[in-house]
Amino acid sequence: MTTATQNIIKKLETLPEGMVNEVEDFIDFLKAKHAKNFFKASEENNNVVEEPKSLYGAAKGTILYISDDFNKPLDEFKDYM
């Protein structure tokens, strides 16, 4: 384990649980952002690397319907049209 990793662990141990969860989310974000580099490193070192969570299509199915007047101009903006 590197010195940087040990320092990070020591700092994590001093944080409240809510902040630790934020750090975990940030780590997941970084892994997803640099996913190609992580997979290359895993192939070179034969280490198991957790696959980042895919955010593509995460909202699929959350919008059940769109009203018929969705594109209708709003009354509040009639003065500007």
Residue ranges covered by each domain of the chain: 1-50
Q: What's the CA gap between 42 and 37, in Å, rounded? A: 9
Residue ranges of the alpha helices (H) in 34-72? 35-45
Query: Tens digit of pLDDT per residue, the chain (81 long)?
Result: 889 889 888 998 999 888 888 888 888 888 888 876 655 555 555 555 666 677 777 777 777 788 888 888 888 888 887
Cα–Cα distance, 81 to 78 (Å, whole number) = 5
pLDDT of residue 66: 82
